[in-house]
């Protein structure tokens, strides 16, 4: 597996397997199969609701000798309801426990959005709506400066729970503001990035400051079809060039 160097000393496997929308009933086997197929970069998140199953797959792969922990790059993400500084470590420890790991390679702020806290024992993952059972569910935004959340994430690095920290779904303005306040610079930005959404200026800025970029939905936005947020014209997966490469390799 090729790697991408970001910053001065961080090597990230260049192709990752994302676990968004992988069904819980098959997720541990999918994780095992991905690792045996050669994936070394596993992209997880509290909001995906399957970190326990991913952790089971990682354990089985390690126990079978397919891989060692040091050969894996495991990412997880801080969900919106845990942005208050006193909740950041709680969220990270929950993901670590579910994944069966002592340390994450990368922990990302999933969105630049803070929502009212929902206790883990009450509902997990909490999702977007504060009470999804009411007739008209709504989000409950709260005022938490991104810098406060970031400072708590920096403490996770200092406490040894995560190696690197970063963000998802940020634009250049938010990145500039965050970097101006950060003691530990964001190592990675994860964004939707594919032939129909190239985000060239944003990617160029990240390269200029030494920040890595993870592309989600790199073959197009087919994951959004069922949400009516994209259609088939925004998918590259059936393009002749992609099909040809797939047939070759």
Is the Cβ–Cβ distance between 225 and 238 less than 8 Å?
Answer: no
In the set 39, 48, 107, 117, the catalytic residue is 48
Number of helices and strands in the chain (H, E)? 7, 9
Q: Is residue 48 among the annotated active site residues? A: yes
Q: Are 136 and 163 in contact (CB under 8 A)?
A: no
Contact 58, 33 (CB under 8 A): no
How many residues are present in the chain? 249
Specify the pairing of strand 73-78 against strand 41-43: parallel
**Residue 49 DSSP symbol:** S
Residue 218: name the closest of 236, 235, 194, 237 by CA. 194
Active site residues: 48
């Amino acid at each position: 597996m090729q790697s991408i160097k970001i910053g001065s000393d961080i090597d990230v496997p260049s192709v990752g397997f994302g676990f968004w929308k992988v069904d819980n009933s098959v997720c541990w086997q999918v994780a095992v199969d991905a690792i045996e197929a050669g994936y070394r970069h596993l992209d997880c998140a509290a909001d995906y609701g399957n970190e326990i199953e991913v952790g089971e797959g990682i354990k089985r792969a390690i126990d079978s000798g397919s891989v060692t922990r040091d050969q894996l790059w495991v990412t997880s993400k801080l969900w919106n309801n845990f942005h208050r500084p006193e909740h950041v470590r709680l969220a990270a420890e929950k993901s670590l426990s579910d994944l069966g790991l002592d340390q994450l390679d990368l922990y990302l702020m999933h969105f630049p959005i803070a929502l009212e806290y929902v206790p883990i024992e009450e509902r997990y993952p909490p999702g977007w709506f504060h009470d999804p059972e009411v007739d008209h569910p709504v989000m409950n935004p709260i005022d938490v400066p991104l810098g406060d959340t970031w400072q708590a994430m920096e403490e996770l690095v200092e406490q040894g729970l995560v190696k690197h920290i970063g963000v998802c779904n940020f634009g250049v303005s938010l990145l500039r503001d965050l970097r101006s306040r950060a003691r530990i610079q964001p190592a990675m930005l994860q964004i939707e990035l594919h032939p129909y959404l190239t985000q060239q200026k944003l990617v160029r800025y990240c390269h200029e400051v030494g920040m890595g970029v993870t592309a989600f939905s790199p073959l197009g936005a087919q994951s959004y079809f069922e949400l009516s947020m994209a259609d088939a014209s925004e998918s590259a997966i059936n393009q002749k060039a992609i099909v040809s490469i797939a047939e070759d390799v």
